[in-house]
A and B are shown apart, each in its own frame.
Chain A
Amino acid sequence: MAEPPVIVLERISRVYGTGEIAVRALDGIDLTVRAGEFIAIMGPSGSGKSTAMNVIGCLDTPSSGNYRFMGVEVAGLTRDQRALLRRHYIGFVFQGYNLLPRTSALQNVELPLIYRGRGRAERQKAALEALARVGLESRAAHDPGRLSGGQQQRVAIARALVGAPKIMLADEPTGNLDTRTSVEIMEMLRGLNREGGLTIVMVTHEPDMARYADRLIWMVDGRIARDEPTPGIA
C-alpha cells in the first residue's frame, strides 16, 4: 500500500480580520503533496503563496477547512503541538536565510537538534554531516557575517536538513541571490529531492527557478488557478 500523502489540504481558507474589512488570503484550497514530490508555488504578490506556506508549515492555522499533515489533523492542534510538528518533521528555508547572527555556521545548524534534546557530541556530528552535504564543512566555524549570500543559504539548507525532516519548505530561497548562485542553490535542492528523496515545497516568483520543481501550483486571489507539471529545465 502506498504511503499516505505528506500533506492534504481540503477547502482551506484563511481569513484575516472580520466583517467588511475581512481579507480572504486563502479561499478554499485543495492540495495534496506526496512523499518525494518537488512542488513550486507561484503567483502574483498577494495571491496567497506565503499564507499557504505558513499554513503548510504549521506556523499558521487555517480559518476553515481540513489540513492533515502525515495523517494528523492540524487545525485542532495547540500552538505548542504545532511547534512539535515543526520540530520533528519540517525544515524551513527562508528568503532572508534567517541565521542567528554572531553564531557559527555549525551552531546554527545544530539549533533544531537542541530542541530535540540531543547531546552535544551527537549534535555536532549531525551538523557537520549536514554542512558536508551542502559543501560547507570547511566553513563550520564561520559566523554568517563572514559568509556570502549563497553560503548563508546553504547553511540554512543544512539547518533544515539536519533533523531529517519529512518535508522542506522553502520560501523564495533564491530571492536574495544572483542568478549564478540561485542556480547553484536550485541544483542543490533538486539533488536533495532526486537523490535524497526529500519532499520539497517551494514558493518562488522566478519562473526559471520553478522549472527545477516537478509540479507547479499557480495561485491567483487565494485560489489555485493551475496545477500542472513544470516544463523542466531546458
Chain B
Amino acid sequence: MLAETLRLAVQAIFRNALRSALTMLGIVIGVASVIAMVTVGRGSTEQVASDVRKLGTNVAIVVPGQGAMRGGPHVGTAPMFTLRINDAVEAGVAAVAVSAPISQTRERAIFGSANRMTEVVGTDNRYFEAARWQVAAGRLFEEGEVRAGRTLCILGETLRQALFGSGDPVGATIRIGALSCRVIGLLRSKGASTFGADQDDFVILPLAAFQRRIAGNSDVQTLYVSIREGAAVDAAREEITRLMRELRRIGPGEDDDFEVLDTRQFATMLTGITGILTGLLSAVAAVSLLVGGIGIMNIMLVSVTERTREIGIRLAIGAQARDVLAQFLIEAIILSMLGGVVGILAGLGLGLAGARMLSVPFAPDPLTVLVSFGFSALVGIIFGFFPARRAARMDPIEALRHE
C-alpha cells in the first residue's frame, strides 16, 4: 500500500514535470543558499584555523596601548617598547620560548624598473623561529649582522614575484625607499591569511638597520612571543603582564599601557563572526523555506482541486480518508524532499565554486546537509497537510459530480 502510494505520488509529480520543478524552486533556492553559504563559511573558518596554526598555537603578541583588538582608538600616547624590554620578557618569563622584537612600516621596494609598496619589517632571527618561517632560498641573518645592523634583507614570496618575477633574488641589491640593501634570503610562502591579507608581502631587515636607516629611532612596536609547548597560555600571559608592568614602571591601580593578545582572542573574534553568520543563515533559511512551503501548499491546493473527480472515484471504490490524505501528503513531501535534494546538490556546487573563488578549502558540512534535507521534508509535511486534509474530507458524491 505504501509502495503504491509512493509510486502514485512520483507519477503525479512527473506527469506535471514543469509545474513540479517550478513548485520546488523555492525550496531549492532556500536549501542551496544555505548549503552554499555554510560550505564557504566553514571553508573560511578552516582557513582561519589553519592560519592560526601557522601562526603557532602558542603565540602571543604584545602591543603598546589598549583596545587594539576591540577596534577602539589605538592609543597613540603609550610609549613604544625597546629591544631591552623584549629581551627581558624572553629571559624573565619561564613559559616564553622566544620573544621577537618587531618594528615595521610601509615603504616602496624597488628593483630595476619594478617596484611595490610593501611592509618593511625590522626584527631578528627569533622572529623566523617564533612565526615558523622557513627559508626557501639563501639564508637567514647571522648573529653579527644583526648586531651590526647590516643592510641585508630577506624577501617574502609576494615581493619576490613583484620585483624579480620567477627569478632568483639572492645576491641582488634592491632599494627600500632611499636605502640600498642586498638580498640574502627568500622565505617560503604562507599564502593569504584569513582576513585576506597577503602574509608574504614583506621584506625583513635586521632590527638595528631598520631602526637607524628607516625609522630613525630605537623603538620596538611589537613583541612576537612564542610560548613553550605544554606551558599554560593564561599563566604565561599573566606573567608577561606582571613583568611588563614592572618594566614599564606602572604603579598599582594604574591601567596597563600595553596589551597581550593571544591566538585564542582571534578565535573568539572568529566565533563571534561565525555566530552572526549562523544567525543570518538561519533567517535566510527560514524565510526561503517558508516561501517554498507556501508555494508547495499553493500547487497542492490546485492539484487537489484539479483532481477532485479522481478523489471522488477513489473514495467511492473504498478509499478511506487516511488513504487520500496519505496520497497527497506523500506527494507534497516527495516534492519538497526532491527540492531539498536538488537544493543540496546546487548548494554544494555553488559552495565549491565559492570556495575556489575565495581560495578557501571546500568544506561541506554533513550535518547541515542532513538538517536541510530533514527540513525540506518537514516543510512538505507542514504545508502539504492542509491541502491533503482538504482532499481527504471531500464528499465523494460532490467530488464525483465535479466537472
Q: Which B residues are in CB contact (< 8 Å) with A116?
A: 318
| Minimal Cβ-Cβ distance residue in A for B310 | A100
Q: Which B residues are in CB contact (< 8 Å) with A99?
A: 313
The proximity string for B residues 317-341 relative to A, scoring 1 for CB distances below 8 Å and 0 otherwise, is: 1111111000000000000000000
A116-131 residues at the B interface, CB under 8 angstroms? 116-117
The proximity string for B residues 221-265 relative to A, scoring 1 for CB distances below 8 Å and 0 otherwise, is: 000000000000000000000000000000000000000000000
Contact between chains at A87 and B321 (CB < 8 Å): no
Q: Which B residues are in CB contact (< 8 Å) with A115?
A: 1, 314, 317-320, 323
Contact between chains at B320 and A112 (CB < 8 Å): no
Q: Count of chain A residues with Cβ under 8 Å from any Cβ of B?
A: 25
Q: Does A38 contact B (CB under 8 A)?
A: no
Q: Which B residues are in CB contact (< 8 Å) with A102?
A: 15
Q: Does A133 contact B (CB under 8 A)?
A: no
Contact between chains at B4 and A114 (CB < 8 Å): yes
Q: Which B residues are in CB contact (< 8 Å) with A57?
A: 316
Contact between chains at B1 and A98 (CB < 8 Å): no
Q: Does B150 contact A (CB under 8 A)?
A: no
Provide the bound-state CA to CA distance between A117 and B4, in Å. Answer: 9
Interface on B for A, CB 8 Å cutoff? 1, 4, 15, 309-310, 312-323, 396-397, 400
Provide the bound-state CA to CA distance between A80 and B313, in Å. Answer: 15
Q: Does A223 contact B (CB under 8 A)?
A: no
19 A-B pairs with C-beta separation under 8 A: A54-B397, A59-B316, A59-B397, A80-B321, A80-B322, A83-B321, A84-B318, A84-B320, A86-B318, A87-B317, A92-B316, A94-B400, A100-B310, A112-B318, A115-B1, A115-B317, A115-B319, A115-B323, A116-B318
Provide the bound-state CA to CA distance between A115 and B4, in Å. Answer: 10
Q: Does A49 contact B (CB under 8 A)?
A: no
Contact between chains at B318 and A87 (CB < 8 Å): yes
Q: Tell me whether A83 and B313 are in contact in the complex, defined as CB-CB below 8 angstroms, given that A59-B397, A102-B15, A114-B4 are known contacts.
A: no
Provide the bound-state CA to CA distance between A46 and B66, in Å. Answer: 94
Q: Which B residues are in CB contact (< 8 Å) with A117?
A: 1
Interface on A for B, CB 8 Å cutoff? 54, 57, 59-60, 79-80, 83-84, 86-88, 90, 92, 94, 98-100, 102, 111-112, 114-117, 159
Q: Which A residues are in CB contact (< 8 Å) with B317?
A: 86-87, 92, 111-112, 115, 159
Top 8 nearest A-B pairs (CB, nearest first) are A87-B318, A80-B320, A86-B318, A83-B320, A112-B317, A115-B318, A98-B313, A114-B4
Q: Tell me whether A111 and B396 are in contact in the complex, defined as CB-CB below 8 angstroms, given that A79-B321, A83-B319, A84-B320 are known contacts.
A: no
Q: Which A residues are in CB contact (< 8 Å) with B312?
A: 98
Q: Which A residues are in CB contact (< 8 Å) with B315?
A: 83
Q: Which A residues are in CB contact (< 8 Å) with B320?
A: 80, 83-84, 115
Q: How far is the CB of B147 from chain A (nearest CB, A)?
A: 91
Contact between chains at A114 and B396 (CB < 8 Å): no
Residue of B1, B15, B316, B397 touching A86 (CB-CB under 8 A): B316
Q: How far is the CB of B13 from chain A (nearest CB, A)?
A: 14
Q: How far is the CB of B22 from chain A (nearest CB, A)?
A: 20
| Minimal Cβ-Cβ distance residue in B for A117 | B1
Contact between chains at A111 and B1 (CB < 8 Å): no
Residue of A59, A84, A159 touching B396 (CB-CB under 8 A): A59
Provide the bound-state CA to CA distance between A94 and B400, in Å. Answer: 9
Residue from the set B315, B318, B397 with the largest chain A CB neighbour count within 10 Å: B318
